[in-house]
Amino acid sequence: MVEEESDVNQHDKCSVEWTLDVIGGKWKGVIVFHLLEGKKRFNEFRRRIPGVTQRMLTLQLRELERDGVVHRKVYSEVPPRVEYSLTEFGQTLEPIIRNMKTWGDEYARRVAERQAEGQ
Amino acid sequence: MVEEESDVNQHDKCSVEWTLDVIGGKWKGVIVFHLLEGKKRFNEFRRRIPGVTQRMLTLQLRELERDGVVHRKVYSEVPPRVEYSLTEFGQTLEPIIRNMKTWGDEYARRVAERQAEGQ
DNA sequence: CAGAATCCAGAGGGATACTG
DNA sequence: CAGTATCCCTCTGGATTCTG
């Protein structure tokens, strides 16, 4: 009813935040990024994501699973095997993640440039 | 040289993370989103972002400023006036933020649907 | 108006050791 | 291999009060 200047309302605000709630975690973006190429196993992530600890990897994967982004398939074998993959819903994150990668590249380039300037 | 399966290397990984380092903060996405429409003043943010505290708003704005995303213009007046706007570099975040909004909408819709199912 | 300062709780996140 | 379990600490973030 009131139109004023508020073409941006509560709804708009929350939408952006929902997304950050889902992929804003320290390692979640990277995890999803790696899953874009296909399913991955637990230790594959550890190798591909230097710096992540077992604990954090587990926690972040569990949250992504809970949010319906990642699917976790357990094979009843010895030794155990678990495969992580993106759900259909998780796939819809692809544009965002790709954008984030592109932007991050540019950002890194920019930072490097600044340092090269001795500034 | 070695091509193996590693078309994804350290570099790819970091890029996604740089981006999250810059806009992964709890309120940063929303702040940038609002700035897409134009410059904003401190208390405008407070009105548009219910839930954010003065402290956090200040901190997140300062970080965005430090990272070259946001420009802070102070007018020497009484009462004081400060206007925040996106830098040129900050503008390049637009696609990501818009994507995040779209995805967040879909996510919210999905969550609402689940709850409606009583599940 | 646009914050700075202070205090405080809790979540996020790391290191290490252990397990089915 | 793919985790749990603990301990511990930092840093995020909220509430409140004060200021140029």
- Averaged pLDDT of chain B: 87
Question: What digits encode the pLDDT tens for the residues B53-109?
Answer: 999 999 999 999 999 999 999 999 988 999 999 999 999 999 999 999 999 999 988
pLDDT of residue A96: 95
Strand order in the sheet with A40-41: A40-41, A81-86, A70-75
Residues of B in contact with A101 (CB under 8 A): 12, 15-16, 19
Question: What digits encode the pLDDT tens for the residues A8-40?
Answer: 445 555 789 889 989 988 899 999 999 999 999
Cα(A38)–Cα(B5) distance, integer angstroms = 12
pLDDT of residue B59: 95
Mean pLDDT of B45-50: 91
Q: How far is the CA of A26 from the C1' of C10 (A)?
A: 18
Mean pLDDT of A50-75: 93
Is B46 part of the contact surface with chain A (CB cutoff 8 Å)? no
Residues of B in contact with A96 (CB under 8 A): 96, 99-100, 103
Is B22 part of the contact surface with chain A (CB cutoff 8 Å)? yes
Name the residue facing A105 among B15, B20, B93 (closest C-beta): B15
Name the residue facing B30 among A16, A95, A110 (closest C-beta): A16
Lookup: tokens for A66: 């809970």
In chain B, what are the domain boundaries? 9-118
CATH class of residue range B9-118:
mainly alpha
User: Which residues on neighbouring strands pair with residue A82, listed in sequence order?
Assistant: A74
pLDDT of residue A12: 57
